[in-house]
Amino acid sequence: MSKKIIILNGSPRKSGNTAALISAFTTGAEEAGNQVTEFFLDSMNIRGCKGCFGGGKNPDRPCVQKDDMDKIYPVYKEAEIVVLATPLYYWTISGQLKCAFDRLFAVAECDPNYRNPPKECALLMAAEGSGFEETLYWYERLEKHLGWKSIGKVLCGGVMGVGDIEGNEKLEEARKLGASIQ
Ligand SMILES: Cc1cc2nc3c(=O)[nH]c(=O)nc-3n(C[C@H](O)[C@H](O)[C@H](O)COP(=O)(O)O)c2cc1C
């Protein structure tokens, strides 16, 4: 059975290492018959969460702020799998991804108990080094808090410049993760 997948791409580099992981993942996922929608967050107008706790009134446009998150909300609503894709920036996810993810809180606000819609999730990351521990801690806490289930993580260290990832075995790992989705 095909699944709907949303990818939030938090890298600012269109042809960077995160993009290569996404491309490999997408190839696998689409070949397995799934439907993938990617958002390149860096080129979108997405402001940070205001922490107003005033959202959740309109399920189609749940945030009080009106910006490009309104393009993401309907796709997020339909998606069964949420892929968080990001370079490692100072031991954590990029600001672009953090901004967008925080704004998904407005969807939880549609529920009287702030319950998040049940989803599966995956993590794709690129980094110069290999200091993924803090992000993994965050990801696992997030998974527990949201009540989501992770289907996999692809963490590619040792890549700095655009193109460094070429020929890296992690690309095949990302493709296989995509292809495993049925
Ligand atoms: C602001 C900034 C912070 C970074 N912080 C880290 C870091 O903490 N650890 C690391 O290994 N690499 C770090 N990097 C390197 C990137 O993670 C690496 O270049 C990655 O391949 C970029 O992915 P991209 O090509 O998808 O943009 C940093 C890069 C930038 C620009």
Paired strand residues for 121: 82, 150
Q: Where are the domains of the chain?
A: 4-179
pLDDT of res. 76: 98
Q: Please report, in tens digits, the pLDDT of each residue of the chain (182 residues total).
A: 799 999 999 999 999 999 999 999 999 999 999 999 999 999 999 999 999 999 999 999 999 999 999 999 999 999 999 999 999 999 999 999 999 999 999 999 999 999 999 999 999 999 999 999 999 999 999 999 999 999 999 999 999 999 999 999 999 999 999 999 99
Q: Token pair for residue 99?
A: 């901004």
d(CA 52, CA 62): 12
Rounded CA-CA distance 38/32 in Å is 17
**12 CA: nearest ligand 1 atom:** 27
User: What's the CA gap between 149 and 134, in Å, rounded?
Assistant: 19
Rounded CA Rg of the chain: 16
Residue 182 CA to ligand 1 centre (angstroms)? 32
- 85 DSSP β-pair partners: 9, 124
- Residue identifier of the C-alpha nearest atom 5 of ligand 1: 89
Provide the pLDDT for residue 174. Answer: 99
Q: Best substitution site from 13, 22, 88, 133 to test ligand 1's pocket, by max atoms within 8 Å of Cβ?
A: 88
pLDDT reported for residue 77: 97
Class of the 4-179 domain? alpha beta
> DSSP characters for 64-123?
SS-STHHHHHHHHHH-SEEEEEEE-BTTB--HHHHHHHHHTHHHHTTSTT-PPPP-EEEE
